Chains A and B, each alone.
Chain A
Amino acid sequence: MCSSDARCALVALPADDPRSRDERVEYAVRHAGFPAGLLERPPRGKPYFPDAAETRFSVSHSGAFWVCAVAAFEVGVDLQRHVDCPAGRIARRFFHPDEADWLEAHPDRFFDVWTAKEAYVKFTGRGIGEQFGAFSCIADGALVPPPGSFHRFLPFAEGYSCCVCAGCEFEIEWVK
Chain B
Amino acid sequence: MLELIEEIVLAVTGKRGLTPDTDFIQDLELNSFDIMNIVCAFEDRLDITIPTRDVWQLRTVRDVMTYMETHNVQF
Contacts and interface: CB of A to CB of B under 8 A. Distances in A.
Contact of B31 (A62, A94, A127): A62
A114 B12 CA distance: 17
Interface residues of A, number: 19
A86 B53 contact: no
Contacts of A105: none
Contact of B36 (A15, A60, A94): A94
- Classify chain B's interface size: 10 to 19
Contacts, number: 40
A44 interface: no
A90 B51 CA distance: 14
Interface of A: 15, 60-62, 80, 83, 85-86, 89-90, 93-94, 114, 118, 127-130, 132
9 contacts: A62-B31, A85-B37, A86-B37, A86-B44, A90-B37, A93-B39, A128-B32, A130-B51, A132-B52
